[in-house]
C-alpha cells in the first residue's frame, strides 16, 4: 500500500512538473492535502492490504470501527508526509486534520463539479490545496496456466490496480492550477 501511494505520487507529480516545466510547482509552497472519503473506494480483495496498512500505521491493538474513515485518514497523513518530502514543498499537511479549515474548504468546494469558490482569508497560510478525488483501489484475480509434471495447472495471481485524480487548486482564487489522472497497475 505504501509503495502504491509512493508510485502514484511519483507519477502524478512528474506529470504536474512536466506541465509546469522542469521546476516542481510545489517547491517552497504550503500545500494542504484533501482526500475525499466519499470518493475513496476499494474492492473486497483489497481488504487484506488495507488491514495490514492500518495495523502498520496504528498498531495491532487498535480497534477498527469505520475502515473507510480510518484508511482515508491514514492515507491522507502518509500522502501529506510523502508530498512534502518528494516535492520540496515548504510544508504539507492533511487538510482533514484541521477541522476549521476543512469545514471552510468543504463549504466552498463542489466535489461533483471539481470546482472551488475563493476562500479568501480562511486559507491565507495555504498556497495550494491538492485534492485527491476519487481514489479507487482494486485487486483482480488473474488466471495463469502453468505446466507441472506434464499437467496443466491453473493458478491465480492478484493484480493490484489504482486510479487517482489529483487537482491542484489555489484556495485564494479558486482557480484550478493543475489536474492529473493516474492509473497504476
Top-ranked range on mean pLDDT: pick from 44-53, 130-139, 140-149: 140-149
Can you tell me the distance from the alpha carbon of 22 to that of 6, in angstroms, rounded to the nearest whole number?
20
Q: How much is the average pLDDT of 166-173?
A: 87
What are the cell numbers at 156?
Answer: 491465480
| DSSP secondary structure letter of residue 111 | T
Average pLDDT of every residue of the chain = 79
Reply yes or no on whether the pLDDT at 6 is more than 60: no
Reply yes or no on whether the pLDDT at 22 is more than 50: no
Reply yes or no on whether the pLDDT at 8 is more than 60: no
Peptide bond into 127 cis (omega under 30): no
Reply yes or no on whether the pLDDT at 11 is more than 60: no
What H or E segment, with its residue span, contains residue 72? helix 67-87
Triad 93, 98, 103: Cα angle to 5°: 125
Reply yes or no on whether the pLDDT at 134 is more than 70: yes
Lowest mean pLDDT of 53-62, 114-123, 125-134, name the range.
53-62
pLDDT tens per residue, range 143-158: 999 998 889 999 999 8
Amino acid at each position: 500500500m505504501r509503495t502504491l501511494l509512493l508510485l502514484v505520487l511519483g507519477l502524478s507529480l512528474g506529470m504536474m512538473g512536466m506541465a509546469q516545466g522542469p521546476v516542481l510547482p510545489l517547491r517552497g509552497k504550503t500545500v494542504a492535502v484533501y482526500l475525499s472519503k466519499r470518493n475513496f473506494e476499494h474492492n473486497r480483495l483489497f481488504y487484506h492490504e488495507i488491514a495490514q496498512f492500518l495495523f502498520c500505521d496504528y498498531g495491532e491493538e487498535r480497534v477498527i470501527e469505520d475502515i473507510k474513515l480510518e484508511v482515508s485518514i491514514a492515507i491522507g497523513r502518509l500522502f501529506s508526509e510523502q508530498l512534502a518530502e518528494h516535492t520540496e514543498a515548504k510544508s504539507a499537511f492533511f487538510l482533514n486534520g484541521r477541522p476549521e479549515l476543512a469545514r471552510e474548504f468543504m463549504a466552498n468546494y463542489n466535489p461533483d463539479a471539481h470546482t472551488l469558490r475563493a476562500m479568501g482569508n480562511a486559507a491565507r497560510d495555504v498556497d495550494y490545496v491538492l485534492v485527491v478525488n476519487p481514489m479507487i483501489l482494486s485487486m483482480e484475480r488473474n488466471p495463469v496456466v502453468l505446466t507441472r509434471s506434464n499437467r496443466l495447472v491453473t493458478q491465480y495471481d492478484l493484480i493490484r490496480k489504482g486510479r487517482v485524480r489529483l487537482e491542484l487548486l489555489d484556495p485564494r482564487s479558486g482557480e484550478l492550477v493543475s489536474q492529473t489522472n493516474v492509473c497504476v497497475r
